[in-house]
Amino acid sequence: MSNVPADLKYARSHEWVRELADGTVEVGISDHAQHALGDLVFVEVPATGRALEQGDACAVVESVKAASDVYAPLAGTVVAVNEALAKSPELINQDPYGAGWILRLRPADAAAKASLLNADSYAAVAEAG
């Protein structure tokens, strides 16, 4: 059973969203997703300032067996990316909800967060595979 923290929101495509105090959100991939991918060897992050639509491919997580897209869980503008991933992609494997965050977004529409899943709903999605 993978770890699904109750204080986060989730997308069906296995990204998590953390609301930050300044109104931006932090985005990463779930413990379930990192486990399915296996050891990550490279993470490609978007350019800061890039405007994303909900569902846009905005990052690539590459393991030894596959390179998978990370999709924007919300529409918004990229305000920060996790530069540490360039040298240490394994942070996503080790600490997917903490040091393994991928990017921070300023959401275009604050209300859009309502479309995301809560932990229980996402746990059911992840379990269904």
Partner 1 sequence: MPFIPHTDADVGEMLAAIGAPDIDALFDEIPGELRVRSLEGVPEGLNEQQVMQLMQERARQDGRPLNFIGAGAYEHHIPAAVWAIVSRGEFYSAYTPYQAEASQGTLQTIYEYQSMITALTGMGVANASLYDGATAVAEACLMAVRANRRSSAARILMPRAAHPHYRTVTRASTGGQGLSLTELPYEAVTGRTLPAAAEGQDITAVVIQQPNFFGVLEDVDALTDWAHARGALVIAVVNPTSLAVLKAPGNWGERGADIVVGDGQPLGCPLSSGGPYFGFMATRMEFVRQMPGRIVGRTVDLEGRPGFTLTLQAREQHIRRGKATSNICTNQGLLMVAGTIYLALMGAAGLARVAQACLARTAELVEALARLPGVRPAFASARFHEAVMRFDRPVGPVLEALAARGIEGGYDLSAHYPELGHALLVCATECRSATDIAAYAAALAEVLGTARSAATAGNRP
User: Under the rule (CB under 8 A), what is the footprint of partner 1?
Assistant: 41-42, 44, 47, 57, 62-67, 69
* Beta carbon nearer to partner 1, 69 or 109: 69
Q: Residue 98 CB, nearest distance to partner 1 (Å)?
A: 25
Q: Residue 15 CB, nearest distance to partner 1 (Å)?
A: 18
Question: Residue 44, class by beta-carbon neighbours within 10 Å (0-12 exposed, 13-18 middle, 19+ buried)?
Answer: middle
Q: Residue 79 CB, nearest distance to partner 1 (Å)?
A: 16
Q: Residue 58 CB, nearest distance to partner 1 (Å)?
A: 12
Mention every residue, 6+ apart, whose C-beta is less than 8 A from residue 29. Answer: 14, 15, 16, 61, 70, 92, 96, 100, 102
* Beta carbon nearer to partner 1, 38 or 98: 38
* Beta carbon nearer to partner 1, 62 or 95: 62
* Beta carbon nearer to partner 1, 67 or 110: 67
Alpha carbon distance 111, 57 (integer Å):
21
| CA angle, residues 12, 38, 96, in degrees to nearest 5 | 60
